[in-house]
Amino acid sequence: MTVPSEAGHSYSVRTTTVLARSRANPLAIRDEINGAAVSPTSGVFELIGPDGSVVSTGATATAGGVTTYTVPSVDLPTTLAFGEGYREVWTLTYAGPTTYIATRPAVLAKYPLVCPVTQTGLQAVMPNLSDLMRGTTTTLQPFIDTAWIDMVNRMMADGVLPSAIVDVNQVESHLKYASLGNAFNAFAVANPQNETWYRMARDYERKAETAYQTIARSRTDADQDGIADSTDRASVAAVMRLRGAPGWPYRTAGGGNGWRNL
């Protein structure tokens, strides 16, 4: 094992990959050093199964430091077992010649879990969000991405496979609050004299934590038969309705300031 700068680069392996069975799955991995992209001259991808066998393999393509490979649907037949134990292996060769291997865990699912939170969606419920972003960032996507990655990693650590979540709205509240918590933390750093941003960041982090606790107790499909294992939502309904929480400031139509709960 080498230090990244001594190897000349490091890989962006951000979270576990969730692959959908019987579908083509495009994959990508980024390689960089000092913030600049590093491109391999060639590469080979392998998807290794839980039993150690090669499920899929082929030559990779690279553009702008991002190396890609699409696992063909034919390589993920319905006979493959769902769940954990799969692993991506990227064997990439660089000028030198020097070859490095990057690996990433993967899960095989019936349907992949998708992120239900967008910048447009956050701005729709917080009209003055664009104003708050000025001078700090031009996009909320990094905050959404971080919230998504943290959630998937935490779910995996807690033994809740992302593939077992039935309804995407089960994760929407957590991701919305976590994204806003990340954003207001950035606003607070950029505007340290404004303590409101720190308080709002902590508030959204608390909301995100409460919402996260409902994810595993909502409907799941652990056996991946496409049908929820349980349809009882009564135990989590009260938790999902977050009421009385501090609101956020917004600009009214008349130009004044007000408060509204998100």
pLDDT over 80 at 231, yes or no: no
pLDDT tens digits, one per residue of 146-187: 999 898 888 888 877 766 666 677 888 999 999 999 999 988
Question: For the whole model, what pTM was predicted?
Answer: 0.67
Given this model, what pLDDT does residue 228 score?
55
Tokens representing 189 are 């750093």
pLDDT tens digits, one per residue of 44-74: 999 999 999 999 999 999 988 889 999 999 9
Whole-Å CA distances, 189 to 28, 141, 229, 230: 31, 18, 44, 43
Cα 169 to Cα 215: distance, rounded to the nearest angstrom: 10
Given this model, what pLDDT does residue 3 score?
66
CATH of segment(s) 4-109: 2.60.40.1220
